[in-house]
Amino acid sequence: MALFVDGPASTIDDLTDRDSGLLEVAQQNGVNLSTKLRLAMEEIRTDLELWLMKPRPTIGEIWSPTLKIEQIVVTPELRRWETMYTLALVYRDVYFTQVVDRFEAKWQGYVELANVARESFLAQGLPAVNDPIHRAAEPALVSVAGTGTGGTFYASVAWVNAAGQQGAASEVSSMTVADGNVMVVAAVNPPSNATGFLVYAGTALNALVLQTSVALPVSSTYEYIPGQITSGPGPGRGQKPEFFRPTPRTILRG
C-alpha cells in the first residue's frame, strides 16, 4: 500500500466506478477531477494531522511514539473516504453552478458516505509504518551500445529501506531502443532512508516484471535485456501497515 503522502489515494477510475455519469457532469460543468482529487487529499491530510496532534492518553495507558503524517499508509477505508469526499466536492461545485436539486442531493449523499467512510477508517486506528519509504519518481532511461534487439521497452522502479521494505513503484517510463543497443534504467531523487532500489521492466506497459532479485545500490544503474526475465512479481503498491494507532471514539460531523 502506498503512503498517504505519496499522492491522492483515489483515481478518476475510482470516482467513475462509484458514479458512472461523473465524466459527463464534469465535462459539462468544467470540473477538473484531478484537481478535486488533490483538494480532497489536502483536506483529509489536515484532518489526519489534527488527529496526530491530539493529546496523549493518561499515564498508564499504552501509547506508541509520536506519529508523523509521512508514516500513515493508505488502506481500503482511507481510499474510500477520499473517493467519497472527492465526489462530494465535485457535486458541491456543480450544485452552486447549476442550482439544480438533483445535484444538491448527490452532494449531500456523498457527504454522508464520506462521513461514514471517515468513521470506519478512524475506528480501525491510524495505519502506520515505522520507516516510511516514499514512492519513487519515474526512472531515467537511456540507450547505450549493446547486443540487444531493439524495440519499445518500459520500466518502473521502487525504493527499498533498511528493513527491506519496498515503497510504492513509480509511474512507468518508456523508450524506443534501436537494434544493437540496450536500455539502461536509473532511479532518481532517492529519499534519505533508501538503501537501494528494485527494477520492473518489460516489453509491454501492462507486463512489467521484477528484474532484480536483490535491491541495487542507490547510485547504480540496470541494463535491461529483453526476454532475459519474463516472469515474476509485478510492480508493488508499497508498504503494509505495521501497526494501528488507536483513536478516541468519534462523532459523525454534519
Q: Where are the domains of the chain?
A: 4-128, 140-224
CATH class of 140-224: mainly beta
Is residue 49 pLDDT above 60, yes or no? Answer: yes
The letter for the amino acid at 102 is R
Max distance between CA atoms of the chain, in angstroms, equals: 69
* CA distances from residue 228 to 142, 148, 175, 209, 211 in whole angstroms, order as listed: 19, 10, 18, 11, 9
Specify the pLDDT at position 65. Answer: 65
From the number of C-beta atoms within 10 Å of its C-beta (0-12, 13-18, 19+), residue 252 rates as exposed
**Residue 228 grid cell:** 532475459
pTM: 0.87
Q: Averaged over 118-136, what is the pLDDT?
A: 96
Specify the pLDDT at position 247. Answer: 83
As a residue count, the chain comes to: 254
Least confidently predicted of 39-48, 59-68, 95-104, 209-218: 59-68
Half-sphere exposure (Cβ direction) of 43: Cα atoms closer than 13 Å: 16
Residue 221's DSSP bridge partners are 186
Least confidently predicted of 52-61, 104-113, 207-216, 237-246: 52-61
What sign results for the dihedral spanned by CA atoms 71, 75, 78, 79?
positive
- The answer to whether 216 and 186 have CB atoms below 8 angstroms apart is no
**Residue 151 grid cell:** 524495440
Binned at pLDDT 50, 70 and 90, residue 149 comes out as: confident
Q: Which of 9, 76, 12 is nearest to 44 (CA)?
A: 9
Specify the pLDDT at position 248. Answer: 66
Is residue 58 pLDDT above 60, yes or no? Answer: no
Residue found under cell 540496450: 182
Provide the CA 174 distance to its chain's centre, in angstroms: 20
**Residue 243 grid cell:** 501497526
Binned at pLDDT 50, 70 and 90, residue 250 comes out as: very low
Is residue 109 pLDDT above 90, yes or no? Answer: yes
Binned at pLDDT 50, 70 and 90, residue 61 comes out as: very low
Is residue 57 pLDDT above 60, yes or no? Answer: no
